Chains A and B, each alone.
Chain A
Amino acid sequence: MDAMSDQSAPVGPGAVPLDPADAHVATASASDANWVFVETLDKHDGLRERHRFLSLPIGIGTAYRNDLILDGDDHRDGLHSAARIVRGDDGGLWVEALDGAPDLWAPGGKTRRWRVDGNASFIVGGQRLRVRTADFVPAPAPRVPVLRGVGSKAWLWALPLALVTLLFEVWIGDLDGERQSVYLTTVFSAAMVLALWAGAWALVSRLTGRVSHFLTHLALAAMAVVALFVLDYAFDTLAFSFNLAIIQKYDYALVGLVIGALVWCHAFLVVRTHARTAAVAAVLVGGALFAFQALGAYNQRGSLASSSTLSVLRPPSLRVATGHSSAEFFSDTATLKLRQRAESSRPEKPEGNDYSFDE
């Protein structure tokens, strides 16, 4: 788009470029009911500029005879008029492609004529546009659900809680009570990592919006740490209590799930990217973490389990599953032999070492 003309006096039939930040100041009266606002958008439908037009039709194209002048490119005729906005017989606003070479994309695909919907965007000459009238009522801005009820102060409880869970992890392994420095190191390291993570997301927020939401990102990261710890501890306890070792062997997937969810929360709820973009980012990050751990387990023991057997214990009072006799246990090992027989007959090339070397 021709920036010079956008920043100057009204173009075309009474076009007035508005600063998006000042949009809320414009209040339409009854006499302004015919005002038409054409908004130029980025590829995510984010508002770039808003232009007010006082009459119809509104010509859109690269030529300077148009009311809204689009940026040209090497392949487009400089006298090109791509589309115009008119009032249709039904009283509604329509956008029409011109010149017999349709270059209008609306929801549903390429078209020659499309009835304007204030909630949808269309593309003319490669530029994404949206048209609204003075009586358009915008939907209320979505709030960040995670902060609902607690506002931006969630970090005040989330961060200490995260640090406490990490300190618990250190404490549980501190047999001699002689590792005060480790407690301090843990607190500082964890706080630093959380701040770096939140800072990175705050930067993304600032680059794509106007506010960094650092504390909100920090609260989310801290909550993820707590969730990870609580879920892991709960799953391990379940595995021990009910003799479900499989839960513990594969609970490393929690890391991918929780971090994936965290990325989605950062991206969708705070940065407000598209739901699909946020979901893709979450799946990519969470999936990469899961794959990294799964591959590590496979390289170590040739299976995706994190350990061969249950490797956590809880106090005896938490054990619900009952024990079998040793005779029952050992009579049940015949399946092991069958599995090993199948395994040894498999012409499997061992992992990690190349034994196929021929001289």
Chain B
Amino acid sequence: MIRVSRTAASRIAAALAALALALAASVRAAETASLPPPSAAGQRLFDSARDKLVQLRVLTRAGSSQSTVGSGFLIRTDGTALTNYHVVSLLVMEPQRYRAEYVRVDGKRGAVKLLGFDVVHDLALVQLEGVTQAAHFNLRPEAEPLRQGEKIYSLGNPLDLGFAISEGTYNGIVERRLYDTIHFTGALNPGMSGGPGLDEAGRVIGVNVAGTGGELANLLVPLAYVRALLAAPPPVSPDKTAVTPQLLQHQDAMMRALMGAPFPTQSLGPATVPVGNEKLMRCWGQSNAKPDKPWRTESISCNLQSSLYIEQSFNTGSVRWTHTYRRGEKLGALKFSAWHARSMGGTAAGGEKPSRFLTRSHCNEDFVTMAATGKRSKTVARVSTCVRAHREFEGLFDMSLNVTSVDRDIEGLTSTLELRGVSFANGMRLQQAFVEASGWTP
């Protein structure tokens, strides 16, 4: 047995304790060293922005329960602030049921009055009642365009946790979208919508608007649209009657972009199908051909990034289509036709029942023979088009087109086109062009 004297033991214990303390201190030092130093620019920006930021809360009129929360920022001394349309959409669509209030960084509150909005670019101008002689943000001059890689900052009230600043990078304009949108590489969380995007000088370069679902890949509304909204005459009444003309303009822009030139086409098995302008549309392909299966499918889906938020349960202004080629060599004509038919029926966009926003679906259908052309051999298809009118926005329609070939025993092509929020004439024109661009390759 080893005996250790009391003095020796206490010395060893003291030495071990000293060693442990030294280790802990070195770990803390290492941890401190591995974190980036706080951004001085960020700290400075946040300090200077505090008084110009607000949280916007949309509340029920009856119970004052919080319904939506977003951010906003002052842009004029008279208390005019900017935010997103989607933050205050309930004031536009259901003002009889909802009201809004602002909360400043120092906790001061007041009522919010809607001045105007741009539903297409998701912007809204509001008046913060009781705010005068306020400090406000300045816009970055047009003459100083942003450069890719430039450091930018996003401010707002994420998740209703408190005001925050997020550092990131300007990465240009998002590709393949109908309207320009800033690609911000940095954190953006729900609740920051409507907050400002700032450059290092603290000038506004855009407005926080949305995430993309990708980590740190987020979107800001460019300043050009903010300037347009500020320059536009205020609407007579900033309510939902002002939405319709904006949606009509949007669908015009959408149709011009899609139909400005003949549909680009692509091969899909032995078929030729329209795929849309690749600078505008985002398309994805899929194939599940397997050697041990008696059938195979190949499909292409395309959509135009143009959907507009109107209210929590209603988006519009979008276009998407899908082409599916099926082949069932070992199935036989009878079995193949039953399989091919699964893609038919239920063609009405967003369901068929009448809703608050849409009427009941009505459809036309027939066999359509597409004559042979240089790019297409004769094709016979079952074509159906279903239409629903917008109840709230007169002159706009949702349309669904289904084109299913019926002229081959063991192979078939199904194309579907969904249009939301288009005029009747534009919708039918696009559908016809779409049908005429589809068919069997000669």
Contacts and interface: CB of A to CB of B under 8 A. Distances in A.
A301 B364 contact: no
Interface stretch (B68-76, B142-150, B277-285, B327-335): B327-335
Given A340-B359, A340-B397, A350-B355, A311 B344 contact: yes
Nearest to A327: B432
B295 interface: yes
Interface residues of B, number: 69
A343 interface: yes
Name the residue among A314, A327, A329, A350 with the largest chain B CB count within 10 angstroms.
A329
A85 to B, nearest CB: 68
B408 A316 contact: yes
Contact of B333 (A171, A317, A348, A352): A317
A307 B369 CA distance: 23
Given A175-B335, A301-B353, A313 B406 contact: yes
Interface of B is mostly: mixed
B346 A344 contact: no
Interface stretch (B180-188, B302-310, B379-387): B379-387
B340 interface: yes
B129 interface: no
A244 to B, nearest CB: 11
B252 interface: no
Interface residues of A, number: 53
B356 interface: yes
A245 interface: yes
Contacts of B363: 308-309, 336
A177 interface: yes
Contacts of A322: 367, 369
Given A315-B333, A321-B367, A323-B380, 15 more contacts: A176-B294, A299-B353, A301-B353, A313-B382, A314-B334, A316-B407, A317-B333, A326-B368, A329-B364, A329-B366, A329-B368, A333-B428, A340-B387, A350-B354, A359-B97
B185 to A, nearest CB: 41
Interface string A174-188: 011100000000000
A243 B367 contact: yes
Contacts of A302: 352-354, 360-361
Given A311-B346, A315-B334, A326 B436 contact: yes
Contact of B293 (A176, A316, A339, A350): A176
B346 A308 contact: yes
B370 A326 contact: yes
B428 A301 contact: no
Given A332-B364, A343-B389, A309 B352 contact: no
Interface string B371-412: 100000000111111111111001001000010101111000
A84 to B, nearest CB: 70
